Amino acid sequence: MKRALTFVLSVVVLAGCRRTAVGPEPGAEAPQLAVQQFLAAAKGQDLQAMSAVFGTAEGPLRDRAPRQEVERRMIIMTCHLRHDESRIGAPQSGEGGRVSFRVDLTQGTKTAAPVFKTVKATRSGRWFVEEFDLVAVRSFCGSSQTPPTDASAPR
């Protein structure tokens, strides 16, 4: 009887266990928050946090692209988005419900003003950074050459 009870309890416990994502839900509650979180993660070189708010209307890129590709993109973006200070400008409405922000970035004596485009995911209703002007911040990475990849999430 004791073994049967132990077995039943084990099955109930195991049935209740399932693999879930650790941490907060990907994306942000608002477009400006997506940009803030993305910039803070880039400044802290936190690739996981960056990938949580980088995506398209389909959701985060990390859920649809191979891990190596996502990591490579995030590493390139962290290099170009290293900054000491940032100031996010007023929102600008765009095509398909997108919202853009001009962001003033400072890195030492260098300044840049890339535009970040955000999009709302259709399923979750969360906001993601879909792209930003990587060329505008290319000098932040210590190279004046054209960057090897664009900073937009594949559609």
Instruction: Tell me the CATH number at 135.
Output: 3.10.450.50
pLDDT digits (tens, 9 = 90+) for 19-66: 344 557 999 999 999 999 999 999 999 999 999 999 999 999 999 999
Considering the entire predicted model, what is its pTM?
0.77
Output the pLDDT for position 52: 95
Which carries the bigger pLDDT value, residue 2 or residue 45?
45
Tally of domains within the chain:
1
Q: How far apart, in whole angstroms, are the C-alpha atoms of residue 98 and residue 57? A: 9
Which carries the bigger pLDDT value, residue 45 or residue 12?
45
Domain hosting residue 46, numbered range = 25-141
At which residue do the structure tokens 């879930």 appear?
A: 20
Asked if the structure places residue 43 within a domain, the reply is yes
Asked if the structure places residue 146 within a domain, the reply is no
DSSP characters over 62-117: GGTS-HHHHHHHHHHHHHHT--SEEEEEEEEE-GGG-EEEEEEEEETTEEE--EEE
pLDDT digits (tens, 9 = 90+) for 100-144: 999 999 999 999 999 999 999 999 999 999 999 999 999 998 744
Q: How far apart, in whole angstroms, are the C-alpha atoms of residue 101 and residue 66? A: 28
Output the pLDDT for position 154: 55
